[in-house]
Structure 1
Amino acid sequence: MSRRGNCYDNAHAESFWSRFKAELLDGGRFPGLEEARLEISHHIAYYNAERRYSTLGYLAPNHFETHLQTTSKLCPA
């Protein structure tokens, strides 16, 4: 965390919760606590591993990492 008033204070968390609410909840509610836990864990796994990110050239993190490793093997330093 940075000092108070810095606009980048909580940007990563705010971005995650914004996407979470828009993609998973869509204004709805969960029928129960177990359903909520299950859906949230699935969504977090998707968000961290499979969702495409514009900063990675619209690739999922797993695909970006594989591409990066393949490229680095082809171009030794």
Structure 2
Amino acid sequence: MSSVANPYDNAQAESLMKTLKVEEVYLAGYESFSDVAARRPIFIEEVYNTQRLHSALGYLSPHPFEVKRARQGGQFS
């Protein structure tokens, strides 16, 4: 997270929430809150972190980006 009064962390959170709603919630047709609670972690781990491309990461998904950086010995900023 960023420092106090720095709005950048909010933009990242808002982006994740928009993606979650558009690519999962609106399409899934959930019938109860428990359906949402059960599926949300699966979407984040299996789709958002491993399949979905992120422009800020050079159009890689987070997991392959982290593996690539680890192989290069790079530090995360």
Structure 1 and Structure 2 fold alike (TM over 0.5): yes
> Structure 1: where are the runs of 5+ without partners?
none
Q: If you compute each CA radius of gyration, which structure gives the higher value, 1 or 2? A: 1
Q: Which runs of 4+ in 1 moved over 3 A?
A: none
RMSD: 2.6
TM-score for both structures, normalised by structure 1: 0.66
Q: After the TM superposition, which residues 1-77 of structure 1 pair with which residues of structure 2 at under 5 Å, given as runs?
A: 1-2=4-5, 8=8, 10-26=10-26, 29-45=29-45, 46-47=47-48, 49-50=49-50, 51-72=52-73
TM-score by length of 2: 0.66
Q: SS at 2:73's partner residue?
A: helix
For residues 15 and 44 of structure 1, what CA distance do their matches in structure 2 show?
13
Gaps of 5+ in 2: none
Q: Give the aligned length.
A: 69
Identity of aligned residues (%): 29
